[in-house]
Amino acid sequence: MSHPVPTDNKLLAALTLEAQQRLFPSLRLTELPLGKVVYESGQQLNTVYFPVDCIVSLLYVMEDGASAEISVVGNEGIVGIAVFMGGDSTPSQAIVQSGGWAFQMPASQMRMDFNASPELRMLMLRYTQSLITQMAQTAVCNRHHSIDQQLCRWLLLSLDRLPSNQLTMTQELIANMLGVRREGVTEAAGKLQRAGVITYSRGHITVVDRSKLEQLSCECYQVVKTETDRLAAYTRTTTHN
């Protein structure tokens, strides 16, 4: 993406002009490369990030090194909700799943603006509600649905947060995100490729038939998308009235 601007992030774009003028001077554009750990489990959060064209995965890492993704954050959201939810840290780890750009802001500034602005506070709480929905649905999906369905859900959620139909992601990383064996991901991705839904080569995934991908996914994707869209629409209506 050339010359990212704050309004490329949907949360920042939903703010009124007055709120943007107050908030935007505190933002700084930063590159988040693939695999970068944005914060570790239990770490004090000093910065929040508004992704533009990157995706950040929030995941839990077990003592034995096993991990599982609990949610993804892209241009619809913010990384670091613990800053304004009162916790200042979180047991999850945040790692860049798809590299790109984000706008960062000091946690102290975010906390101050959150407390001072009812508009910003409502916006962030609405986003947090959609994130909680995604976390809950991910837990249900991981427990009750097949690896094939989980992969479809994961690909669709990622696509919704990217400007193109291409993802750069190895099967090993996908397995870590889903908390499953790599062989399971290899088999599931092979099925999608043979069905003409995706092409996969050397860590590059291209979705060529999105409608078929949605048909093969479980209901979990649509539940998350519907709630995210509902809250985003509500936010746009209330902030621009």
* Three-state DSSP class for residue 233: helix
Span 55-106, pLDDT tens digits? 998 888 777 776 777 888 999 999 998 888 877 777 788 999 888 999 999 9
Residues 157 and 86 in one domain: no
Residues 59 and 110 in one domain: yes
CATH of the domain at 37: 2.60.120.10
Report the pLDDT value the prediction gives residue 60, as an integer from 0 to 100.
81
Task: Provide the residue range defining the domain that includes 184.
Answer: 146-217
Rg for the chain (alpha carbons), in Å? Answer: 18
Report the pLDDT value the prediction gives residue 235, as an integer from 0 to 100.
54
Q: What percent of the chain has pLDDT over 90?
A: 23
Residues 111 and 10 in one domain: yes
Name the pTM for this structure. 0.85
CA atoms of 125 and 217, how far apart (whole Å): 28
Span 38-53, pLDDT tens digits? 998 888 899 999 999 9
Summary mean pLDDT of the chain = 83
Span 90-147, pLDDT tens digits? 778 899 988 899 999 999 999 999 988 888 888 898 888 888 888 887 777 767 777 7
Residues 169 and 212 in one domain: yes
Q: How many domains, the chain?
A: 2
Report, as an integer, the average pLDDT of 167-191: 74
Report the pLDDT value the prediction gives residue 1, as an integer from 0 to 100.
53
CATH of the domain at 206: 1.10.10.10
Span 10-36, pLDDT tens digits? 999 999 898 899 899 999 999 999 889
